[in-house]
Structures are given as C-alpha cells and as structure tokens.
Amino acid sequence: MTTAWALDQADDCILRAAFGCYGGTAAARAAAVHVVRRVQATGRGCWILCDCRPAADRPPALVPVAETHIRRHLQAGWPQHAEACEFFREPAEQAVISASYRPIHRSQVRLVRSFEVGPSAPLQRREPASPANRRPQLARLLIRLLTEAGLQRIDPVASKPPSVGEQLSPLWRAARGLSLDRGVRVADALCMSLAKLPGLMEQITAAPAKAYPRTRPHGLLLIRLNEAAAEKLIALNGQELPVVGRIALYGERPRDEPGPAVSARSPYLALCILARPTPVDPVQIHSAYVHPCASMGRVMLVDSDLERETLSILQAFQWRMARRHQAVVTIEKPMDSLGPAVAEDGTPLPPLIPDFVVTARYRDGKERRVVVETMGYADEGYRGRKRVLHPRMGRAAGAMAVLEHDFHLPGHWQQEWRDNRFKRLLWQSLGPEELAAAEPAAARQPANTIGDAERGAMRTFPT
Ligand SMILES: [Zn+2]
C-alpha cells in the first residue's frame, strides 16, 4: 500500500529554493537538509511527487538522497516535469537558458562551422522553440535585426501604414553593422525576396573557402511564410522551400502537457541559413528559424495569435489617442529580457520580457507608460508565475502599471466583456486625465459583472 500526503507550503518553498531552477545556492541547500532528512526518515522509498503534470498517469518524482539532496527521477515509466516547472531544469542549465534571452551587442555572428570542425551532414528535424529552451543563435540574429531596424515598435502614422518593403528597408542598415565572418557583412550575404534567392545562392557557390576563414561560405534568406511543414517552408506565393537541417518554430506549448506547439499561426517571418550541408553538396537552405509575425502587412514579431488580438486593440487605442487627443502613443514589443540573467546571490532569474510596452506622450510633455500582458492560459501555475513576474517586469520597463488582457478569466464572462475591461484599463491608465473618471461608452460593460476580478486585473506597485 502506498500513501501520499502534501508537503506543507513552507517545506515546498524551501525545496524549490534549494533545488529548483531559480535556486541552488549553498545556503539554500543547507537550509533544505532538515526537510530532505525528515522525508527520508519516513521510510525507504519515500519520494516527493510533483503536481506539475496533473494529466499524466503518474506524477514526476524527486528522490531524496543521502539525507541532504533530492534528484529528479528519470527512469522509464516516470514522466519528466512540465517545461514550466521549477524542477524541469537544474540551476546551471537555467542560467544558460536565461542568458540566451539577454540582448547581444557584439558585431560578429557565428552561425555555421567550418567543414574542418563541424559535423558533415545536418540532422533533418522540426522542433518547437519556446521560452523553456535556450534561444537559438538564428533566433537571436533575427530578433536583433528587427529590433535594431525599429520593427518591434509601432509609432502612430499620419497617413497610410508603410508597406512591407518600406518596413524592411531599415533592416539593411542594421545588417551592415554585423558580420558573418571576417570581412563578410550580413548585408552582403542577405536576401529578402525569392526573386533574388538564385543570385545569392550562386554567389555563395562561387565564394572561395578562404573568403570565410572561420566558417564556410554561407548567406541568409529573410522571408515571410504561410507554413512551416516537416521538411520544408511554404512561402506566401505557395512556393515550397526544402530545408535539409533544423526548422525551429516558435510557439508556446500548453503549460502542463507535452505535445505539439500551439498558439503559433501564420503568417510567419523566417530567417534561413543558405550553405552547403557537406563539401560535395550544392548550396541549399541549411536550417531555419520561424516566428509568427503580427499580420500580412506588418512584420513585427509576436508570440501568439492572442497577442495579435491584444495588438489590434492597442493600435485602435493609438489611433484614437492621436486623432482625438493629439497624444502620441508608441507600442513596443520587446523580444529580449529587460533584466539580468543571474541575481546578485548567483541564482538564475527567469527572462523578463513584457508582451507589450505602451507609452503615451502628451503635448504638454507628460508621459505615461504601462506594460500590457496577454493572459493566454487559465491554469494556476501560469497565473502564479505571472503574479511574481509582473511587478518586476513593470519596474524594469519603467511602467506605472501592468495591464492584463485576459482570455480566460473571469470564466463566466464573454470575451467581448474581457476585451472591454482591458480597453477601459488602457484609457484609465494612459488616456487624458479628464477621461480617467468618465471613460468612453465603448469601453463600458454590464454593471453587475464588475467585482473583485475587475480590481485584480490591474496591479500597481511602487517604482
Ligand atoms: Zn514538476
């Protein structure tokens, strides 16, 4: 017979601080010894079970060892912890992951290895990229190009919005400041249209090995996509682009279940490496990183379909503020962490990346800023992590509040009411002061639904 009982909350916190991915200092481990000892003293085979995978046949287990520490039980038949669980990674692994979400500043980018040191043929695979994993180099380059070109930011426009070609043109300037190898600027080995792809492939084919002394001749294709399939990418015009190696597709997975990526929908923006996979092969698409973008007409990267809905509300707000109140609203979608990867005591910190940062500037010079978070999941673990991260996110962004655009709670509301509540919070926080009390009728909702949930959706904190 087996029995199970719940660890009390104090012991739970002690174990997380000692052995979770955001803990692990010597002091925290020493403080956890008495808890491990007590569990182990209960009897042989007394394990600690984790509640991060409620739908699994068995829970993930942690085994006490030598009355001092616990190890993750990774044998057949026992599931891994959920990606979002603090016991999914060791602190040392998490430190590397968190560091990969920090912005990079060096001008040299190394994407492929020279044939002398690299393995010959790349492995063909398609895999999800998610915040639980290290950000790939190709993703970091794409994000850097878009951020430096100002494409992760939307300013109000007087007339019609810029075309995709106009949006992409500042990217060349960013690409001139980066190099793929000694003397090879990204701008000289980049193409952004299928029409120019054959020319770039010929250029790479003809390049002598000594032109790329540290890598091998290669280049980059930046393109919008309809789809990322198993072994190929499908461009907007339907053209299929086979990929010989890895396709990494950004998309958040469900929080407590393994499985395919969800929330990622076309259109996408993809950055692809063009190179010979082996010395005897022709130049091909070697690997690709694929990330959803805001819309057919806007290349700004977004993390999910729900973020697109939040963005459309923000753009409508931006337009009305410019039109009716002569206030300039800027919408930014940061992609890099605003905080350090490691705390002062050496423990890793989770990446701090707000979904949107929205700033309103008035003609009298007054400026107000909020962080906007798309709340895409209902589970308590997700909500709990957001409760911890939001105040830190707000402070790091210099914002006065974090506004939540909720897609799940309150559960008995229609989505239209939740959208209206979010609009009202936006007007209250960033709108003209005379409007803060009397918000526009469009942002009002049924009076009987305003309760605790209403107050809970906006958190302010001392800055
Ligand atoms: Zn777990």
pLDDT in single tens digits along all 463 residues of the chain: 466 777 888 888 899 999 999 998 999 999 988 888 888 877 767 888 888 888 888 888 888 888 788 888 888 888 889 888 899 999 999 999 999 999 989 999 999 988 877 656 778 788 888 888 899 999 999 999 999 999 999 999 867 788 999 999 999 999 999 999 999 999 999 999 999 999 999 999 999 999 999 999 999 999 999 988 888 999 999 999 999 999 999 975 544 444 444 446 889 999 999 999 999 999 999 999 999 999 999 999 999 999 999 999 999 999 999 999 999 999 999 999 999 999 999 999 999 999 999 999 999 999 999 999 999 888 888 888 899 999 999 999 999 999 999 999 999 999 999 999 999 999 999 999 866 655 554 444 443 333 444 444 555 444 3
In sequence order, the 6+-apart residues with CB closer than 8 A to the CB of 433 are none
Contact predicate 94/349, CB 8 Å: no
3-state secondary structure labels for all residues of 183-230: CEEHHHHEECCHHHHHHHHHHHHHCCHHHCCCCCCEEEEEEEEEEECC
3-state DSSP assignment of residue 176: helix
Tokens 């500037």 correspond to what residue? Answer: 361
Rg for the chain (alpha carbons), in Å?
A: 25
Sheet with 69-72: list strands edge to edge: 48-49, 61-65, 69-72
Peptide bond into 267 cis (omega under 30): yes
- Phi, psi (rounded to 5 degrees) for 15: -65, -40
Q: What does the pLDDT read at residue 404?
A: 97
Contact predicate 349/378, CB 8 Å: no
- Say how many residues make up the chain: 463
Element (H, E) at 179: strand 179-181
Residue environment code for 259-275, b if the CB has 16+ CB neighbours within 10 A, otherwise e: eebebbebbbbbbbbbb
d(CA 351, CA 341): 7
CA–centroid distance, 209 to ligand 1, in Å, is: 48
Q: What does the pLDDT read at residue 436?
A: 60
CA–CA–CA angle 249, 253, 255 (5° rounding): 160
Specify the DSSP class assigned to residue 450: -
Tokens 């007054």 correspond to what residue? Answer: 366
CA–centroid distance, 385 to ligand 1, in Å, is: 14
Q: Which of 67, 46, 51, 40 is nearest to 16 (CA)?
A: 51
Q: What does the pLDDT read at residue 306?
A: 93
Q: What does the pLDDT read at residue 116?
A: 79
β pairing state of 284-295 and 298-301 = antiparallel
CA–centroid distance, 203 to ligand 1, in Å, is: 50
CA–CA–CA angle 75, 88, 31 (5° rounding): 100
Q: What does the pLDDT read at residue 120?
A: 64
* Other beta carbons within 10 Å of 122: 18
CA–centroid distance, 81 to ligand 1, in Å, is: 4
d(CA 415, CA 244): 42
CA–centroid distance, 124 to ligand 1, in Å, is: 31
- Structure token digits, residue 138: 């190709």
CA–centroid distance, 393 to ligand 1, in Å, is: 24
- Phi, psi (rounded to 5 degrees) for 462: -70, 135
CA–centroid distance, 76 to ligand 1, in Å, is: 16
Tokens 């082996």 correspond to what residue? Answer: 278
Specify the DSSP class assigned to residue 405: E
Q: What does the pLDDT read at residue 443?
A: 43
Q: What does the pLDDT read at residue 434?
A: 67
DSSP secondary structure string for all residues of 251-300: -PPPTT--SS--S--S-EEEEEEEE-SSTTSPPEEEEEEEEEEEETTEEE
Q: What does the pLDDT read at residue 192?
A: 96
Tokens 């990229």 correspond to what residue? Answer: 129
CA–centroid distance, 62 to ligand 1, in Å, is: 9
CA–centroid distance, 69 to ligand 1, in Å, is: 16
CA–centroid distance, 453 to ligand 1, in Å, is: 28
CA–centroid distance, 382 to ligand 1, in Å, is: 13
CA–centroid distance, 87 to ligand 1, in Å, is: 5
CA–centroid distance, 82 to ligand 1, in Å, is: 6
Q: How far is CA 349 from CA 78, 198, 247, 337, in A?
A: 28, 44, 28, 10
Q: Which of 442, 362, 373, 436 is nearest to 401 (CA)?
A: 373
